[in-house]
Amino acid sequence: MVAISYEDIVKVPKALLHDHLDGGLRPATIVELAAEVGHELPTTDPAALGVWFTEAANSGSLERYLETFAHTVAVMQTATALRRVARECALDLAADGVVYAEVRFAPEQHLEQNLTLDEVVDAVVTGFREGSALAAEAGAPIRIGTLLTAMRHAARSQEIAELAVRHRDTGVVGFDIAGAEAGFPPTRHLDAFEYLQRENFHFTIHAGEAFGLPSIWQAIQWCGADRLGHGVRIVDDITPGNPAVLGRLAAYVRDKRIPLELCPSSNVQTGAAASIADHPIGLLRDLRFRVTVNTDNRLMSGTSMSREMALLVEAFGYGWKELQWFTINAMKSAFIPFDERLRIIDEVIKPAYAELIG
């Protein structure tokens, strides 16, 4: 088999379901925006700042990792800044060969300059639309769906859920909750999830990253999540072997084809996996869970969708067949309408990989 290079991976279409807007800024943009608003950074050299972010995120704890967001969120407080960051996000993903992406952010974190929640969403959605149009002109079309995140330690989830539904026809395709898991179970936000279900809306929940099975169980069986943000600790309910033995929760997740939004580099940084080679993605793929590959925070992890796939190729020896499988899994699990998903799978993804798989 011919080795797959990073450059080859950039060229093939990829689909991404779990990417944070405030975790993917260009370092140079942070420096410029920080200068405009007088926000102090650890360094104003873009290259050094990029290194600072990855090093701070490499400390091994989710809480420390979340601290790096103080700087990115600080420079995303005006409509102009939000629009620019979203536009550049679309362009960067498209340049990396991503043809479909769901990018999430928490509107409640962008109100320091007195924007309303609706103005925040409008600015981001406009930025994605502008970036997608520029990318299409440059020959790299990308479709972006926006997910609105509520912070799990806060008490605004119902308000954010209503905001998401209000913007469902202009680019918002789903809802999410994020933030430190310990002490903040998803069941605190049951009202929001029940509201979303009554509205026939889609949502994913950050669960089973730093925290174990109870968090995954609550997200699915109490809250009704369509997908699991990470969900990597589902391996705690699997006894490896030949054959592996699945507990009732792991069996349910696999039987129901509940998508796992796995983020290899991010999981290693937060200590949810010891290394890429030790990442449960290998086992979960072998057991045919609905596994997807994601970036989480491109800036903090110094990564991209192509890099995540290249790391998996290196660690597990995957070929184009496996990369296509991850990509189609993600596209099948997207929150946009079924006919649109099918079109991207049949007209964009399958033809490109068919040439490589032969």
Q: Which residues are catalytic?
A: 209
Under the phi-then-psi rule, with left for phi > 0, alpha for psi from -120 to 50, and beta for the rest, what region is 135? alpha
| CB of 276 vs Zn ion, minimal distance in Å | 18
| CB of 138 vs Zn ion, minimal distance in Å | 28
The answer to whether the annotation marks 236 as part of a ligand binding site is: no
Q: Hey, which residues does 147 pair with through a beta bridge?
A: 104, 174
User: Which residue, 92 or 296, has its beta carbon nearer to Zn ion?
Assistant: 296
Instruction: Find out whether the peptide bond into 243 is cis, omega within 30 degrees of 0.
Output: yes
| CB of 22 vs Zn ion, minimal distance in Å | 11
User: Which residue, 204 or 329, has its beta carbon nearer to Zn ion?
Assistant: 204
The values of phi and psi at residue 238, to 5°, are -125, 130
Task: Judge contact between 346 and 33, C-beta under 8 A.
Answer: no
Task: Judge contact between 149 and 104, C-beta under 8 A.
Answer: yes
CB atoms closer than 10 angstroms to residue 49: 20
The answer to whether the annotation marks 296 as part of a ligand binding site is: yes
CB atoms closer than 10 angstroms to residue 309: 24
The answer to whether the annotation marks 96 as part of a ligand binding site is: no
User: Which residue, 140 or 276, has its beta carbon nearer to Zn ion?
Assistant: 276
* Contacting positions for Zn ion (CB under 5 A): 296
Residue type present at position 80: T
- Scanning 23-116, the segments in alpha helix (DSSP H) are 27-37, 46-57, 62-67, 69-74, 79-95
| CB of 230 vs Zn ion, minimal distance in Å | 7
| CB of 80 vs Zn ion, minimal distance in Å | 26
The answer to whether the annotation marks 153 as part of a ligand binding site is: no
What's the token pair of residue 202? 């889609």
User: Which residue, 105 or 353, has its beta carbon nearer to Zn ion?
Assistant: 105
* Chain residue at closest Cβ approach to Zn ion: 296
Task: Judge contact between 172 and 102, C-beta under 8 A.
Answer: no
The answer to whether the annotation marks 18 as part of a ligand binding site is: yes
User: Which residue, 108 or 296, has its beta carbon nearer to Zn ion?
Assistant: 296
The answer to whether the annotation marks 202 as part of a ligand binding site is: no
**Residues making up the binding site:** 18, 20, 22, 179, 206, 296
Q: Which residues are annotated as a binding site for substrate?
A: 20, 22, 179
Which residues carry a binding-site annotation for Zn(2+)? Answer: 18, 20, 206, 296
